[in-house]
Structure 1
Amino acid sequence: RTMARLRRAFSMRRSLAAYRALSRKERIFFSGAIILIVIGIIGGIITLYLRMTYPAPAYGGTITEGVVGKPFAIHPFIPDSSPADGILEQLIFSSLLKPDGKGGLIADLVEEYEVLEGGKVYVISLKPDLKWHDGYPVTAEDILFTIQLIKNPEANHPLYNLFRDIDAKVLTPRSVTLTLPRAFSFLPQYLTFKIIPKHIWGTVPIQNFPFSEYSLKPIGSGPYVFKKIVSTKDGNPLEYLLGASPSYYLPGPYLQSFSIRFFSSIDEAMNALRKKEIDSVADVAANTTSHDAPGNFETITPVIPQSFGVFFNLEVAPLNDKVMRQAIRAALPVESFFATNPLDTTTRIDSPIWFIAPSPYPFNTEQSETLLASLGWKDTDNDGIKDKKLQKKDKIATPLELSLTVLDTPDMQTLGSRIQEEFKKVGIRIILKNVDINEFHSRLRSNSFQLLVVGELPTSGYYPDLYPFFHSTQKPPQGMNFSSYTDKQIDKTLVSLRGSMDPETRDLRYQEIAEAIRDDVPAIFLYRPVWTWLIQKSIKVPAVQFLNSGDERLSRVNEWYIFTKRIWK
């Protein structure tokens, strides 16, 4: 060993002596060559490593999202009072299937499902070892319990009409069967409702749901677990703190904590965004300059197929006359109206089917006046408002006066005032009724309106299930056929769409529905809002192109990440 060491030392001395014997230029050249060789070896190793591995999400990091409004109850069976409720429900609760952000579906709690007997029977199997956040197992009994609640009229669940005729039974602790009276092609799209735990809610009367502690500190089975409420001294919530669920059944969640901070206005939330106090905010009005996003934020604008329009109550005179409705439609200059309206960040529509290109309604005040005159409405007293003796025995003519109900939000009030101005130009007096959200819903359910501005939002994915909105059996209070529209042929087409989504006939059926609605005028469809979401570019999220609602962007929140690691192929 000693001799070997001596030989190496002698060799090194000879090499050093040889190096010193080189000229300055030769030393530079030699050193450069050695450096290039070393760089080449390192580069080769790095290239090989990159070829043999791929980047993957890594655990770690946090996110704080700003939300306008405060939560009232984080419970899938209590109507959302603000976006905060729905966002927290998406983070904490799970569903059988969930939206993929592109108009389709992916599995959530479901491992697989079979469709039998020509589409009338669904056998749904759950993933193994599912757990609630308190450690209790998620079983088929929880699924059955949730469906039974949907079918309970006291719950006023929006899916009541759909599920009331579906027979749900437990097959095994991990599977249920759903038996339908007839084939229903849209059913998978409706299996995105949130599941709630039977062991917590099974003994609580529905009317007491809002008063339970679990409505503010919920137990779910989703990717995030409730940790803490940060409140002011007087008890007003400022922020919800959530942590990644250790028992989550899908990959992730990679972000280890998720905070929801509450603001009183979008301007306040945007100021916090610019100060880097929050990482994300949604439902931003893109037309307001104060909402310009900082450069380190990504702007995402998915399609949300919500159709806003002026809906007629077809069960009250004079709106039960199609000619009257056509006259009113001709009086509204929708194209120029939206060019100067605060709601100009919208997409124009003339039907509730979002993917059908609009054919603008013909704005023609002369036609409107002619149609009104054909019905006997004329301005006999020169006060600017048309009138008519409704019966021969009447001594005094009745003015053409209609009420328009809108929500008492600034945008809706502005929209209502503009409609009021336009209709006055053709002699129609509009009594504007600005009402709060509770009164608005009450009027919808009781059909207590003449004209009403509302947004319809199908929740069935890319291809809308319009049955709840236009079938004659779906009138309020249980249904959402707000106009009380009735057409036997359209009823048949809506039923046919539900039975089969054959691509060869599907688009023709949608076109038929759009043309019938355009001709019968149960509503004047106006616009689809442009919905904007801002999020830090450092936070990577799956593609979000199509949503049924804003909080659906969180359906794949378990896949969000900040950090990456490399995995061997």
Structure 2
Amino acid sequence: MKRNNVINILASAKKIIEKKTDPADSDTEAAPNFEVLEKRSIQSLKSSRLPSWSQLKHLSHFLSNTEKKVLRIAGYLLAICFILLGVSFYWSHSILIASEGGTYTEGLVGSPNYINPLLAQYNDVDRDLSILLFNGLLRYDQQGSLVLDLADELHISADQKEYTFTIKSGVTWHDGEPLTVDDIIFTITSIQDPNWQSPYRLAFANVIVEKIDDHQLKIILSEPLANFLHSLTVGIIPEHLWISIPSSNVTLAELNKKPVGTGPFQFSSLTKDKNGSIRTIALTRNESYFEKTAYLETISFKFYGDYETGVQALRSNNIEGLNLLPKEYGDQLTKNKNLVFHHLSLPQYTAVFFNTQKNDLLKDKALRQGLTYAIDRQKIIDQSLNREGKIIDSPILPGYFGYTDETTKYEYNITLANELLDKTGWLKTDESNYRRKNGNDLTFTLTTVANPEYEKAIKIIKANWEAVGVKTNLAIIPKDKIKTDVIEPRNYEALLFGQIIKSDPYPFWHSSQIASPGVNLSVWAHQGIDDLLEQSRTQTNIEERAAKLVEFQKILTDNVPAIFLYNPVHLYPVTNKMQGINTQNIISPADRFNNITNWYIKTKRQFSWHKDSE
């Protein structure tokens, strides 16, 4: 039936065309060959309701110009829809990933002296640069935990006296020379050489290092030291470059300014001002790095004399980041929408250290406890740290080995403070605003270094102590004199200061560290604490060692030779273009670069069937 209908339609069309066509008109387009068209159409008919391609290709003969135009537009729209659909599908099944490239410029307050890991301990700028240029046998990860670095394997003997290392193969120095076991042995013996004057010398004083073969070495201790592994994060230096430099001249070597290491970045260039001071240093990516190479192509550093100048440079976009920012400058940058403030936690505490040898009154435990209860620590955090800190009760901080919360707590309590101070015999009278005994006022001098954070804190403490009748004098010492004039000679009655305890409280609280260069700033001795700290250093059982540290904290906080105030949270402002920074706990300010190979600015898309959140 369908076939007869088609034949009838085509026959009628043929007759109409023949009547209207003038064969004499040469300009008239020839009529379609309906016999052929009829035959092809009939042959192409199928039982399907849908036309075949061979049928569709003749469609244009039956469409007007307007219909053809509409059909073309529809085709274009359909093509665009398919393209958009494809883009949408790819977008919904792809993720942004880091890509190589990009330059980052950071400001550092200070100037480089020795970009040498053996000499860099006392200069934050040197440490910042060294951590990017050098590697140790071990390193800290972004959570502050020890992990292998140049070492591929580590075996520790049962008595904790022998450390056998296998070093990674294929590691090269920035000049292309291979790293060898000899480089590590040379580094340790250089640290032990008194002519080098390395601050790490004490940590390696009783250490013997032996070469086993080209890939293994053994470090032997005279006695077990629980924290020795932390010393092995010190960077290794190249023997083939330093061997020719006399140890008495190492501080004069050009290698301290243009170093060669194994790190993820290598020295590229530096600029100096007319006085010869280094103004900028540029580091480039180490393409031969033994671990994953960095995404960033270049890191440049600009050096400033103070934070005020550095903050101004950051505000004017001359730099893209600034090393750990003091709290008082935070408000100046909070309105900068191009910055991200990373919060980093150091094993650092700020405390008031009582010098029991400088003022006999401070030997009274009840008096020290009364002074402790009188301090409003939350107010100090709110006003001097802009709430960027945490109240602490002991020198070992939450999250670090040996921490316990089973210590004596001294929450702000004016009533209890007054009761304890009354027990000492120093009483309030109508004759004076301060407590008196034998005609004298109860008076102390509180000393600190010139630092806006500390200066705000001691003013709050002064107000707290005077509120309970203790006359408080303040002494603010310039930064360049605090060490020589105050700390080393222990010339203070009470000192507000900060300390960083990496892993071992021994140097800070053992009686052998009372005199400089020890850092027992309370100048306080306790036989029980000495025994616990000595035992914890040599204890090989982790649980027993932790128990020693817990007991140490209980005794210390009960006797309160210092008032533990707070653990500051450090702000690290960096451009919001920078991604991949996920460090939280750091051991030193330089450790903010621990995961530098993961930092990136540039990105690219990668197809993924199972898309994760970006």
Normalised to the residue count of structure 1, the TM-score between the two structures is 0.81
Q: Of the candidates 419, 434, 438, which is equivalent to residue 461 of structure 2?
A: 419
Post-superposition shift, 1:115? 1.8
Post-superposition shift, 1:519? 0.7
Residue of structure 1 in register with 2:600 after alignment: 561
Distance 1:39 1:423, change over 3 A: closer
1:236 aligned onto 2:277: yes
Post-superposition shift, 1:303? 1.8
1:514 aligned onto 2:530: no
Contact 1:72–1:80, Cα closer than 8 Å, also in 2: no
Residue of structure 2 in register with 1:6 after alignment: none
Structure 2: which amino acid aligns with 1:545?
Q
Q: Of the candidates 330, 340, 352, which is equivalent to residue 373 of structure 2?
A: 330
Contact 1:60–1:562, Cα closer than 8 Å, also in 2: yes
Q: Of the candidates 226, 250, 258, which is equivalent to residue 267 of structure 2?
A: 226
Larger of the two Rg values belongs to structure: 2
Of all paired residues, the percent bearing the same amino acid is 26
Give me the whole-angstrom Cα distance separating, in 1, the residues matched to 2:508 and 2:68. 90
1:295 aligned onto 2:329: no
Residue of structure 1 in register with 2:410 after alignment: 361
Partner SS state of residue 263, structure 2: coil
Residue of structure 2 in register with 1:394 after alignment: none
Give me the whole-angstrom Cα distance separating, in 1, the residues matched to 2:517 and 2:413. 37
Give me the whole-angstrom Cα distance separating, in 1, the residues matched to 2:430 and 2:547. 49
Post-superposition shift, 1:224? 2.0
Post-superposition shift, 1:249? 1.9
Give me the whole-angstrom Cα distance separating, in 2, the residues matched to 1:564 and 1:337. 43
Residue of structure 2 in register with 1:114 after alignment: 155
Runs of 5+ consecutive residues of structure 2 not aligned to the other structure? 1-53, 399-403, 609-614
Residue of structure 2 in register with 1:281 after alignment: 322
Give me the whole-angstrom Cα distance separating, in 1, the residues matched to 2:145 and 2:416. 44
Residue of structure 1 in register with 2:100 after alignment: 59
Residue of structure 2 in register with 1:142 after alignment: 183
Give me the whole-angstrom Cα distance separating, in 1, the residues matched to 2:336 and 2:440. 57
Residue of structure 2 in register with 1:531 after alignment: 570
| Per-residue deviation, residues 64-115 of structure 1 (Å, max 9, x unmatched) | 0122233333233445665433222222222222211112233322222122
Partner SS state of residue 233, structure 2: coil
Contact 2:392–2:566, Cα closer than 8 Å, also in 1: yes
Give me the whole-angstrom Cα distance separating, in 2, the residues matched to 1:451 and 1:112. 47
Q: Of the candidates 222, 228, 241, which is equivalent to residue 187 of structure 1?
A: 228
Q: Of the candidates 472, 483, 500, which is equivalent to residue 457 of structure 1?
A: 500
Structure 2: which amino acid aligns with 1:145?
F
Post-superposition shift, 1:301? 0.6
Q: Of the candidates 586, 590, 595, which is equivalent to residue 551 of structure 1?
A: 590
Alignment of 1:365-376 (within 5 A): 367-368=416-417, 371-372=420-421, 374-376=423-425
Alignment of 1:100-499 (within 5 A): 100-151=141-192, 157=198, 159-202=200-243, 208-285=249-326, 288-292=330-334, 294-318=336-360, 319-341=362-384, 344-355=387-398, 361-364=410-413, 367-368=416-417, 371-372=420-421, 374-377=423-426, 382=431, 400-425=442-467, 426-430=469-473, 432-437=475-480, 439-440=482-483, 443-459=486-502, 464-495=503-534, 497-498=536-537
Post-superposition shift, 1:121? 1.6
Give me the whole-angstrom Cα distance separating, in 2, the residues matched to 1:337 and 1:34. 67
Contact 1:469–1:481, Cα closer than 8 Å, also in 2: yes
Post-superposition shift, 1:60? 1.8
Structure 2: which amino acid aligns with 1:480?
V
Give me the whole-angstrom Cα distance separating, in 1, the residues matched to 2:63 and 2:396. 81
Contact 2:117–2:235, Cα closer than 8 Å, also in 1: yes
Structure 2: which amino acid aligns with 1:454?
F
Runs of 5+ consecutive residues of structure 1 not aligned to the other structure? 1-9, 390-396
Give me the whole-angstrom Cα distance separating, in 2, the residues matched to 1:233 and 1:457. 37
CA-based RMSD of the aligned residues comes to 3.9
Structure 2: which amino acid aligns with 1:310?
V
Structure 2: which amino acid aligns with 1:352?
P
Distance 1:329 1:159, change over 3 A: farther
Partner SS state of residue 238, structure 1: strand
Structure 2: which amino acid aligns with 1:517?
L
Structure 1: which amino acid aligns with 2:446?
L
More deviation in 123-132 or 437-446? 437-446
Partner SS state of residue 212, structure 2: strand
Post-superposition shift, 1:258? 0.9
| Per-residue deviation, residues 400-452 of structure 1 (Å, max 9, x unmatched) | 55443322233333433443444445234435251434542664344443322
Post-superposition shift, 1:30? 4.9
Distance 1:281 1:19, change over 3 A: farther
Partner SS state of residue 143, structure 1: helix
Contact 1:119–1:184, Cα closer than 8 Å, also in 2: yes
1:74 aligned onto 2:123: no
Post-superposition shift, 1:380? 9.2
Distance 1:403 1:34, change over 3 A: closer
Residue of structure 1 in register with 2:15 after alignment: none
| Per-residue deviation, residues 217-250 of structure 1 (Å, max 9, x unmatched) | 3332222222222233333332212222344222
Give me the whole-angstrom Cα distance separating, in 2, the residues matched to 1:446 and 1:106. 38
Partner SS state of residue 530, structure 1: strand
Give me the whole-angstrom Cα distance separating, in 1, the residues matched to 2:134 and 2:102. 21
Partner SS state of residue 415, structure 1: helix
Give me the whole-angstrom Cα distance separating, in 2, the residues matched to 1:148 and 1:442. 34
Contact 1:413–1:434, Cα closer than 8 Å, also in 2: no
Contact 2:152–2:167, Cα closer than 8 Å, also in 1: yes
Contact 1:78–1:209, Cα closer than 8 Å, also in 2: no
Give me the whole-angstrom Cα distance separating, in 2, the residues matched to 1:98 and 1:17. 79
Post-superposition shift, 1:352? 1.6
Distance 1:179 1:248, change over 3 A: same
Post-superposition shift, 1:57? 3.9
